[in-house]
Amino acid sequence: MKRRLVLFSAQVYVLLKKEMLQFLRDKVLLFIVLFTFTANIVILGKAFTLEVKNVPTALYDMSKTHESRLLVEGFRASGRFRFVKEIDSLQEGDRLLSKGDISLIIAIPADFARNLRKGASAKVLLSTDGTDSNQALIALSYAASITGTFFTETLEERLSLLIPAMAKGLVPQIEEKIRVRYNANRIDERYLSLMEMCRAAFAICVILTAASIVREKEAGTAAQLYVTPISKTTLLIGKIVPVIAILMVALFIGTLFNIVFLDTPIRGSYPIFWALSIPFLLFSVAIGLLLADFSRTFQQVLLGAFLVLMPIMFISGSLVPIETMPKVLQQLTYFFPLRYYLNITTGVFFRGVGIGSFWADALIMTGLGLLAFSVSVWFFRKSLD
């Protein structure tokens, strides 16, 4: 028994050492991993702004009155709209719109002020480019709230003139107090980086595992290892532990870059995130092992990884919120730990919630990780059949 333990630890030691040395000496791989968890993360955090602002807008003011100018001022002050051009006809606006130079036309009819004064319907025409429906909707809702505010303000003013008793602020009104949780200044691109870190951990873990096995198959060293008396378990420990260790370090580096360059908050417990990364990585390793079982060349691994990873990453809620997807896809996500892992990640970083609110996620994720791992171990053969 003791001899077997000594043999086992000697074998594990030499295998771990070998894998680590090989990884550290593979400059290309090392570069790809480091790039993904450093520069890549920062680029994604800095390249975009998700806020809808500076909507290129053309103004067609036929009214040219004090009121119309006040309204336009309201639009301008919001900072959401950038007035590119004043136009003299709707045709011109349409042309600009179809060329894509502008996305919105604000047209104020000639009778705007008159109607407003006599209490008839004063119209404001908003023509928007609906191509990007998302942007269009946001722009329209901003416009609606700006005209609403404009209207109440003018009414208040008129009322206070007519009935001095109705001083300003006495109009019944709902005032919204909007509190954005978790991502205080909601226009936060940092989530892109954080999601990218999780996606990268998943993809790189799968590819590293599969590559380390398949490259040995290609080089013929696999056969050399398989004819030694080393057991399947020992062999797999030697393959898996280094990958998980590398990814744990990479995640740590990625987190550091998130914090230092993007000021990403950690409102929850980082150790919990780190610890829960292990079952997640275990699942990823298992996918990598299965991929390696069915591939003979590194090229097949890449193709397979592409086919398997893209959809999983896509539907697990790292690019679009899960609840906006069709029901079938939503249900599918329950089978992929990435879904739970993303929830845990945003929970720890943004929402600052404790294990209490995601213990179920952690449990299911661990279960799935262990299941996939057992399946992949069962599939793994120390032979070339």
Partner 1 sequence: MRVGPFELEHILAVANKEFREIYRDPRYIAFALVLPIVLLFLYGYAITMDVQNLLTAYVNFDKTTLSARYMDRFASSRYFQVAKEARSRKELEELMERSEIRLGIVIPADFSRKLYGGKRAEVEFLVDGTWPNMANLAIGYVQAVNGAFNQGMLQGLLQRAGLMAPKSPEPIVVEPRVWFNEDLDSLNFIIPGLYAAIFMSFPPILCALAIVREKEAGSIEQIYMSPISSESFILGKLIPQLTIAFTGLVLLALLGTFWFGVQFKGDPLLFFGLGVLYLSTTCGFGLLVSSVTRTQVAAMIGTMILTMIPAFLFSGFFFPISNLAKQFILYSYLFSGRFFVVISRGIVIKGVHLETLYPQVFGLLIYAAAIYAISFFVLRKRL
Partner 2 sequence: MEGRDSLHREASQEPVLRAKGLKKAYGKTLAVDGVDLEVYPGEAFGLVGPDGAGKTTTIKMLVGLIKPDSGSVAIQGQDLHENLKAIKPVLGYMSQEFTLYPTLSVAENLRFFARAYRVPDAEERERTNDLLAFSRLGPFRSRYAGRLSGGMKKKLALSCALIHTPKVLFLDEPTTGVDPVSRQDFWLLLYELLAQGVAILVSTPYMDEAERCNRVALMHEGRLLTTDTPRALCNASTSKIFELRGERASEAFFRLHQAQTSERAELYGRKLSVRVEDGQQGLKEELERIAEEKRLEVTQVPLLLEDRFVEILEAKGHKKRPMPPGGLPFRQREKGKPCIEVEGLYKYFGDFAAVDGISFEVAQGEVFGFLGPNGAGKSTTISMLIGLLHASRGHMNVSGVDMLKTPEMVKGRIGYMSQIFSLYGDLTVMENIELYAGIYGVTGGMFQARKRWVLGMTGLERFERQMTRSLSMGYKQRLALGCALMHDPEIVFLDEPTAGVDPVSRREFFDLIAAMAEKGITVFVTTHYMDEAERCERIALMYSGKIITMGTPDTLKAAKEVPKIVEVHPEDPIAAYNALSKDGWEGGIHLFGERLHVSLDEAKGRDEQSLRRDLERFRIRTIEMNAAKPTMEDVFVAFILQYERAKNQGSSETFP
- 220-259 positions binding partner 2, by CB under 8 A: 220-221, 223-230
Q: What angle do CA 244, 245, 249 make, to 5 degrees?
A: 115
Q: Is 144 in the site for partner 2 (CB under 8 A)?
A: no
Q: Are 70 and 150 in contact (CB under 8 A)?
A: yes
Distance (Å, whole) CA 309 – CA 29:
19
Least distance to partner 2 from the beta carbon of 215, Å?
Answer: 10
Which one of partner 1, partner 2, none interacts with residue 47, CB within 5 to 8 A by kind? partner 1
* Residue in the structure block whose two tokens are 């793994």: 380
User: In the bound complex, what is the minimum distance in angstroms from residue 225's beta carbon to partner 2?
Assistant: 8
Residue 104 DSSP SS3? strand
Judged by beta carbon distances under 5 to 8 A according to partner kind, the member of partner 2, partner 1, none in contact with residue 151 is: partner 1
Asked if 113 touches partner 1 (CB under 8 A), the answer is: no
Q: For the chain, what is the radius of gyration of the CA atoms?
A: 30
148 binds, among partner 2, partner 1, none (CB under 5 to 8 A by kind): partner 1
The least CB distance from residue 22 to partner 2, in Å, is: 5
Residue 328 vs 384, nearer CB to partner 2 = 384
Out of partner 1, partner 2, none, what residue 191 binds, judged by CB under 5 to 8 A for its kind, is partner 1
For residues 6 and 163, which CB has a smaller minimum distance to partner 2 in the complex? 6
Q: Nearest CA to 85 among 106, 108, 64?
A: 106
Closest by alpha carbon to 222, among 208, 235, 233? 235
Asked if residue 297 binds partner 2 (CB under 8 A), the reply is no
- Distance (Å, whole) CA 268 – CA 353: 6
Residue closer to partner 2 by CB (options 224, 357) is 224
Which contiguous run of DSSP H or E holds residue 83?
strand 81-86
- CA-closest candidate to residue 238, choices 27, 12, 54: 12
Does 89 sit near partner 1 (CB under 8 A)? no
295: helix, coil or strand? coil
Query: Using CB under 8 A, which residues numbered 360 to 379 contact partner 1?
Result: none
**What residues between 19 and 78 interact with partner 2 by CB under 8 A?**
21-22, 25-26
For residue 249, what are the β-bridge partners? none
Torsion-angle region of 196 (φ positive above 0: left; ψ -120 to 50: alpha; else: beta): alpha
Q: What is the pattern of x (binds partner 1, CB under 8 A) and - over residues 34-63? A: ---------xx-xxxxxxx-x-x-------
Stretch of residues binding partner 1 (CB under 8 A), selected from 123-131, 223-231, 275-283, 368-376: 123-131
Nearest to residue 346, comparing CAs of 258, 286, 245? 258
How many Å apart are CA 166 and CA 156, to the nearest integer?
8
List the interface residues with partner 1, window 171-210 (CB under 8 A): 171-184, 186-189, 191
Q: Smaller CB distance to partner 1: residue 9 or 89? A: 89
The listed partner (partner 1, partner 2, none) that binds 226, CB under 5 to 8 Å by sort, is partner 2
| Cβ count near 56 (within 10 Å) | 17
State in angstroms the smallest separation of the CB of 171 from partner 1.
6
User: CA–CA separation, 130 vs 156, rounded Å?
Assistant: 34
Interface residues with partner 2 (CB under 8 A) are 6-7, 10-11, 13-15, 17-18, 21-22, 25-26, 219-221, 223-230, 382-385
